[in-house]
Amino acid sequence: MTDRPASEEELDRLEDTIDRWLALQVRDNPVVVATERDEPGSRRWFVRIRGEEKDVYTIRYHLRQRTLHYETHFMPAPEENHAELFAHLLRRNRKLYGGCFMIGDEEAIYLQGHLDRSMIVDSELDRVLGSIYAWVEQFFQPALRIGFASRLRQPPSQAT
């Protein structure tokens, strides 16, 4: 990881790189529905993704002094089979490059990771977006079947 904090000029340049890359994603990437900036000066972006296994979700990017942090809400806190679900996700972590599952506020499950600021280039930003998309597509339904097993077994008319 980069040792010293980035200067304002470096952060401005990286911010421009991310803005430009996101504009290309909205234009050219069919899974990117929209992008939005947080309040001015915050260096945070929200990217809406259209998936197949999980219909729509948001990836949050936050440019910090040394890294670009990214995360998405993967699923709410499980209703049951907590230990089985957490073991399942921890096993999946071994296969992830540049990201991991984690427990966040309210026991919800997130996918998160970070890039060293020296790696903030189009090809790495593409890899991050593609990886998150692939992980959600691959792991979302199996995780739901574990953490919400009873609810998913109910006939549709009885589901709450």
Token pair belonging to 5? 């904090």
Task: Quote the pLDDT of residue 93.
Answer: 95
Per the prediction, the chain carries an average pLDDT of 94
pLDDT at residue 146, as a whole number: 97
**pLDDT at 50 exceeding the cut of 70:** yes
The pTM of this model reads 0.90
Mark out the alpha helices in the chain (DSSP H runs): 8-28, 82-93, 122-147, 149-153
Specify the CATH number for 8-158; select among 3.40.50.2300, 3.20.20.70, 3.30.160.150, 3.30.1460.10. Answer: 3.30.1460.10
What pLDDT shows up at residue 41? 82
Q: What residue ranges do the domains of the chain occupy?
A: 8-158
Query: d(Cα 29, Cα 36) in Å, to the nearest integer?
Result: 16
Cβ–Cβ contacts within 10 Å for residue 154, how many?
10
Q: Is the pLDDT at 113 greater than 70, yes or no?
A: yes
pLDDT (0 to 100) of residue 156: 62
Which pLDDT score is estimated for 34?
Answer: 97
